[in-house]
A and B are shown apart, each in its own frame.
Chain A
Amino acid sequence: MLSAILEQTINGLMAGSVYVLVALGMVLIYGVMHVLNFAHGVLLMVGAYVCHFFFTRVTGSYVLSIALAIIVLCLLGIALERAVFRPLQGNLRNQVIASLGLILAIEHLVIAVWGPNALQMKVPATSALVAVGELRFPVQHLLVIGVTLVVVAILFVFLKTSKFGTAIRATSQDRQAAMVVGIPVERIDWITFGLGTALAALGGALIGPLFLVFPQMGDAPMVKGLAGILLGGMGSVPGAVIGGFIIGVAESLSTLFMPTDYRDSVAFAIMVLILLVWPRGLFGVRVRGED
């Protein structure tokens, strides 16, 4: 039974890594622009399709395809920020509903262009098997976890030390105060949006070879990523990372002792229970008088 728990934890970390990449993108954008972009999951899917396109049609190298996918998604994110989310700044309800519209439009645009069927992405380099004790995992499995941890580390260093990083943190603390101090808040907005979408593209590109690339692949990670953000405390970046991993591991472990057809409900039940008992989440700081 012990090895099953260990194996489920590793499975959970892998699934959690995808949730973390999505959650990070969403929480950064939420922090800076107070925008919750429900279309973030769809951007992960587009990232996977773009990576697949470059990998199969343009370059054979997986790493280059990931880089190209990140660049393309970055630009798409910035375009979305300027065209849709900037004008709706401050009006929460309309922003969310606009992002629901984006989900519909983008998902069915991909179906119309690439067709409804799943695409396969065979990356020989990472389909080799590696043994962990008597368990065996494909390299891609561990690659996803590894890359996510590295990205999280880089992001923390970037946020804590670099000029832009502090500007992003300042803007998310208090937009007006940041403006007064001379931080170009509007520029920070689209940089953050670009960064958030880039993280989603990375998530899509990483899980592409492991599974299939198909139009609905972004939906579940988005909802689970949301659960992670809330668990971690709305707006807290470390919270989103921890929350994402917890949701992933909890889901996998739940299959050990619960009927699996209620597996999704586990993530949501955890989220609602935590919020009832501890509304600020694990790391969230209740801003004074926050309505």
Chain B
Amino acid sequence: MASRIALVVVLLLLFAVPALAQQQPYLLHVLILCCLYAIPAVGLNLMLGYTGLVSLGHMAFAGIGAYTFAVLMVDAKMPFWLALVLGVLAAGAGGAAIGAVCLRFRTHFFMIVTLAFGLMLFSVMNNWDDVTRGAAGFPGIPRPAPLGGFSFGPLQNFYYLALGAALVAFAVQWRVARSGFGRVLMALRQDERLARAKGVNAMLYKTAVFALGSAIAGLGGVLHVSFLRVAAPATFSLAESINAVLIVIVGGAGSLAGPALGALVFVGLPEYLRVASEWRLVVFGVLLVLIMLFAPQGLSGLIESAWRRVRR
């Protein structure tokens, strides 16, 4: 019951932010970035946290969505919302196709093959000049068209779009986690051979979650480039894919709030701290190792155990 109240309070707070932070647009900007980094993290959490699939090329699929969206919007002059849906579907399709290949491998092999596909997709984004405008980035991507008088240009309004999309992603995650589909995913993570012996078509379920995770990443990618108004390969590089893993793990893999906590810590903190950047990443690296050693359940695990200790 307590967690339900906490959820409602957090939601109210999030919706009230634009009003509270009238003269603080930078806070809105940071929160928007947190949402935009949390969305792909939700997709990865479904794969890594619930199903145990450690993909090291996750942001490359966000890139498929982002660049499909950019080409449809700028070159094909398609309306924003249609291009967004097609971008997300493209990312999902890419996830299904490439996922089906990667999922023929297990444990170590799987990780390395996802890393390889991530790098291959990056070089396509970086080199295919006439479509993706290559390394200099794909400029001129517009913000969403006004929806019944509600324009998404100003920061507060884009914040609601980003927050709404993040809530959609978390709702999908919540729905999957509680559904039979989610239960099968968790079974696959615990003991794939036993799950198969109990009638689970492992390949089908894992491809489905790979596609779903990539589609959600695509949603994050589309809004990311729409917010920045430019699509650049650097946003979908191997380093960003490793960041996504870091966000999921620090937040708490396999927990509903994990991606949100991870994104807040990983994106929000440095924006505000602005500490010298080499040391920031040294700290994050060491933090990751310590979490693996002492708190594999990440922040949400720590909070849960602390909460249990308080209640008892």
Q: Do A and B come from one complex?
A: yes
Query: Which residues does A use to contact B, with CB under 8 Å?
Result: 30, 36, 84, 87-88, 91-98, 100-109, 111-112, 223, 226-227, 230, 234, 259, 261-262, 264-265, 268-269, 271-272, 275-276, 279, 291
**Does A101 contact B123, Cβ atoms closer than 8 Å?**
no
B304 vs chain A, min Cβ distance (A): 18
Q: A111-B278, A268-B116 are in contact. Are A92 and B287 (CB under 8 A)?
A: no
Count of chain A to chain B residue pairs whose CB atoms are closer than 8 Å in the complex: 122
Query: Which residues does B use to contact A, with CB under 8 Å?
Result: 48, 52, 54, 101, 104-109, 111-113, 115-117, 119-120, 123, 126-127, 192-193, 242, 245-246, 249, 276, 278-279, 281-282, 284-289, 292-293, 296
The 8 A-B residue pairs with the shortest CB-CB distance in the complex, in nearest-first order: A105-B285, A101-B288, A104-B285, A268-B116, A112-B278, A108-B281, A98-B292, A101-B289
Contact partners of B293 in chain A: CB under 8 A: 84, 87-88, 98
**Does A84 contact B289, Cβ atoms closer than 8 Å?**
yes
Please, how many angstroms separate the alpha-carbon atoms of A108 and B277 in the complex?
9
Q: What are 23 A-B residue pairs whose CB atoms fall within 8 Å in the complex?
A: A84-B292, A84-B293, A94-B292, A95-B292, A101-B246, A102-B285, A103-B242, A104-B288, A105-B281, A105-B282, A105-B288, A105-B289, A107-B281, A109-B278, A226-B115, A261-B127, A264-B119, A264-B120, A264-B123, A265-B120, A268-B116, A271-B113, A275-B113
**Does A104 contact B284, Cβ atoms closer than 8 Å?**
yes
Please, how many angstroms separate the alpha-carbon atoms of A108 and B289 in the complex?
15
Partner of B54, one of A96, A261, A262: A96
Contact partners of A275 in chain B: CB under 8 A: 104-105, 109, 113
Please, how many angstroms separate the alpha-carbon atoms of A49 and B282 in the complex?
18
A106 vs chain B, min Cβ distance (A): 7
Please, how many angstroms separate the alpha-carbon atoms of A108 and B286 in the complex?
11
**Does B119 contact A93, Cβ atoms closer than 8 Å?**
no
Contact partners of A265 in chain B: CB under 8 A: 119-120, 123
Partner of B292, one of A97, A259, A291: A97
**Does A88 contact B119, Cβ atoms closer than 8 Å?**
no
Closest to A260 in B: B127
Q: A275-B109, A279-B105 are in contact. Are A112 and B289 (CB under 8 A)?
A: no
Partner of B111, one of A88, A91, A96, A276: A96
Partner of A276, one of B104, B119, B278, B296: B104
Contact partners of B112 in chain A: CB under 8 A: 226-227, 230, 271
Q: A36-B108, A102-B289, A108-B285 are in contact. Are A97 and B113 (CB under 8 A)?
A: no
Please, how many angstroms separate the alpha-carbon atoms of A291 and B182 in the complex?
22
Contact partners of A108 in chain B: CB under 8 A: 278-279, 281-282, 285
Contact partners of A106 in chain B: CB under 8 A: 285
**Does B116 contact A271, Cβ atoms closer than 8 Å?**
yes
Contact partners of B107 in chain A: CB under 8 A: 92, 291
Please, how many angstroms separate the alpha-carbon atoms of A227 and B287 in the complex?
29
Contact partners of A88 in chain B: CB under 8 A: 292-293
**Does B127 contact A262, Cβ atoms closer than 8 Å?**
yes
Known: A112-B279, A223-B115. 10 other contacts (CB 8 A): A84-B292, A93-B54, A101-B292, A104-B284, A111-B278, A230-B109, A261-B123, A261-B127, A275-B105, A279-B104
Please, how many angstroms separate the alpha-carbon atoms of A96 and B242 in the complex?
11
Please, how many angstroms separate the alpha-carbon atoms of A291 and B242 in the complex?
26
Contact partners of A105 in chain B: CB under 8 A: 281-282, 284-286, 288-289
A112 vs chain B, min Cβ distance (A): 4
**Does B249 contact A97, Cβ atoms closer than 8 Å?**
yes
A31 vs chain B, min Cβ distance (A): 12
A256 vs chain B, min Cβ distance (A): 18
A224 vs chain B, min Cβ distance (A): 11
Please, how many angstroms separate the alpha-carbon atoms of A119 and B205 in the complex?
50
